[in-house]
Structure 1
């Protein structure tokens, strides 16, 4: 009862907000949470829920979801629930094989542990709770599973909401143990035939060459399943380019620049001198498990700055070129590899914005060399990628 009284005071604004670092938006989210918990306790506050619904346009996605749950458990108006659900789904970010929601709580949201993962998980759990048959629930669950692979959490809030959502998803979607045979065919030819009997972790895979198909034709891909249970499948197309590739933006924009240590654009470079390579990557939405492959032209070699033989002065000048507003380790590239012929950048998560990485390369051999376009992609969704322009590099004596 004391807990209910406290929550009721929050709903009514009978708490001293000066004792908390929340702004008005976060306070609205807190009141929505209180409304939801009261409804779960069998003590809904319909008048205050209706009042908050009238102000829904000022609420964050997390708050709207909590209000939806409060109305659902408190037997609130179905029209209000439908309106909130529409608002939520209008904000979904959909890629080729996944979907998620971008948290919009604002800077003060850090006080209540806001994140894209927590917001996405709460919305998925709510969709399942209210019995929604939205087909995007599968894509949302896929995004959460991929996010979980990083094994890094901002907070325990992410943990509880993630496991709540995935547990509810598994309970609803995996009621029946898989027990079926499956046949896949492409252009009328059988490419895979197998069966799954109770093993949810069994993975079937096949690779099929397409050289015998006529270019430009549309061919059918068919799945024949006999039995019961859920089947999850994915199709990937791998190809090798026949000529020079133009820059592409299919989810990422990447720009590669080469300059002197003084920051001047480079037309040519003298053998033995240093070059600053700058990669600027524009990310429109949070992306998971990203790799950036920056091939080096044959006449250049990446400088390993960990070696004590490298000039401290050159390293200092490179550091001076770095942006002053460095991001946290969990938002950028957290693993770098420098090979003889390329530099690889890896990130578990890239947040929206512009990410910049610089490194030094040394010109070794004079001549004219082709620099293939730098490519960035999501490792588990390579159709989300970006490619920089190809260029030639002139190294003089």
Structure 2
């Protein structure tokens, strides 16, 4: 095998970027996601500055989770019944309004945790609708053989945003300027909005079901009847709810690194750094056939890496170990997304992505709540390390206990 062949086999597949509509969507969401991460980092730091409590930082979890559950499921159902381009534009404006509200509160000097959490909920509402809609659009823009590569590129650009956003936020917040962070987010939003406006008309295909409780129930029934798809959600919930240490970053930064904003930025970006590296070296991911078994062990690696990072005292070591976990999480996310897009017909994809958004975005919010609450009772280190170990044990027990998931092969696609 020559060097060129080795590069193609192991580096990220960029063929989807040859399609102009997908390329604009990819670049737009990449730029706007940097702003999203800026705001997410700043809100956590702002709440900790006001309250000096990881519990209140953890309350960002339910503030995000409730809109994600309600509007993620509903938004996915709507995406199956209306023009997805129009829905994406309208939902993006809701998220933008949330960012502008955070900026206004900060400029006016309003130091209300309750108001901050309520505004975050508005922002999460827009995100809950745009995320499943955007992903459901991808199979309409690309041939089926390029969908796995597009998923990898999506996770890669999200991970890049998760690195760049927190690092920029750390620098800006060193001066205590929360308003500047929110202003940058509001400006960067324009890139994603432009990409949405330039999309072609995307009217629904196949049977159209009126969006509502019945259509949501149909989507959930589809998942419940497919053991492989169901377990792909279960293992992800385990990964995020048990092991994600994000809500502990402000307290750990204060305890171990003197409250340095730069250290806080590096911790916040560390998982995404690993995701970027994993994405760039992802050429092998599509060749794995036993994806159920691979998912199980990959998420166990995530949990053990998080636990080890919680025991480290040097910043570089914590960042490195969390990066290992981030690479494992990125790989597992690509497999989960591809399973959904492979099984679901177009008229069901919005609902599948709605549930995926609830799990992928909602799971971390459960993790925030768990981490903050356990830290209040037992301390930040116990919450961090214990969560990682619990994740590894739980995912191995769950993943290996279901034969259909354990034996699942992407070649046969049997459930």
Interval of TM-score (by shorter of Structure 1 and Structure 2): under 0.3
- Taking structure 1 as the reference length, the TM-score comes to 0.21
Bigger Rg, structure 1 or 2: 1
Q: Higher relative CO (CA 8 A, sep ≥ 6), structure 1 or 2?
A: 2
In proportion to residue count, which structure has more helix?
2
